[in-house]
Homo-oligomer: A and B are copies of this chain.
Amino acid sequence: MDRLTKFMRETAALAEARLGGFIPNADMRPEILHQAMRYAALGGGKRLRPVITLASFEAGGGREAERSRALDAGCAIELLHSYSLTHDDLPAMDNDVMRRNRLTCHKAFGEAVAILAGDALQTLAFRVMAAASGALAEIAVGELAAAAGSTGMAGGQALDLEGEGKAQAVEEIERIDRWKTGAVFTCCCRVGAILAGSGDDKLAALTAYGNSLGVLYQITDDILDLTADAKTIGKTPGKDKAAGKLTYPAALGLDGAREMAAEKSSLAKTAIGHFGKEALYLRLLADFLLDRIDIA
């Protein structure tokens, strides 16, 4: 097993265990809400956000004693991600029925519970981030909120819904994705660096890395939606096209989208080019996301 795979598997396992502890047990009242939260947030996935957070913490020179804080901060971002998937799948939004090879949350638990589960997962994300960041809570919670809010993830989803069925230039697609997906990737890098005590220069470099990585992720996500089968990506393929969504392959063609992905991967690595071996995992991640064939 190569080093990145080992790091990713170990981190995913650690994150899964921490997440399972953060969400109240399924036999605690209200049982159905906790069942739905656990259904939406647990049980797999690559846990890419904790992976990126932890890799950025290491690249930022974080101390071993603070490592579990960085892991928990990454889990907070993962909880935020779970909330967004749960709400994005709702009938009024993307109206999807499959996610991670299972029924979406509202299909399994009903719409009211799915809305509340998403709401409570967002709340939990902030609770975990505040506890993980301790004396740095003002900054770290602010970073998470900026990435998640109306000029971040939620705003990107609004722009995405608004843009459905309209032809758009690639610049507009990139802008939407920078908000919708990229802001959260960048948040992983920034929070990892902040918890590592990185100075302004390192923080700026890791921010630039995160920006490129976020676009890279979205391009390959769009490509997979077009080319992969349902089992591989764990959700309904071809949805983007059916919904008339703005995608990179639609704007640039498949080859053009692949070229742009390669460029973003390269830009990500350049941003941290002056880092030493402490940034190894981040470099490998930029390759991994370019080459991936299944959804993280």
* Alpha-carbon separation in the docked complex, A130 to B129 (Å): 11
Whether, in the assembled complex, A6 has its beta carbon less than 8 Å from a beta carbon of chain B, the answer is: no
Are A137 and B145 touching (Cβ within 8 A)?
no
Q: Measured between C-beta atoms, what is the minimum distance from A33 to chain B in Å?
A: 4
Measured CB to CB, the closest approach of chain B to A249, in angstroms, equals 24
Q: Report which of B83, B112, B130, B158 forms a contact with A116, defined as CB distance below 8 A.
A: B158
CA distance A118 to B29 in the complex (A): 24
A150 adjacent to chain B (CB < 8 Å): yes
**Does A133 have its Cβ within 8 Å of any Cβ on chain B?**
yes
Query: A interface, by DSSP: helix, strand, loop or mixed?
Result: helix
Contact of A24 among B30, B134, B144, B150 (CB under 8 A): B150
Q: Does A290 sit within 8 A of B, measured CB to CB?
A: no
Q: Does A63 contact B (CB under 8 A)?
A: no
At the interface, yes or no: A115 with Cβ under 8 Å from chain B?
yes
Closest to A132 in B: B138
Binding site for B on A (CB under 8 A): 23-24, 28-30, 32-34, 37, 83, 87, 90, 92-93, 110-113, 115-116, 118-120, 122-124, 126-127, 129-131, 133-135, 137-138, 141-142, 144-146, 148-152, 154-155, 157-159, 161-162
The 7 closest A-B pairs by CB, nearest first: A127-B145, A92-B111, A130-B141, A137-B138, A137-B137, A30-B158, A120-B150
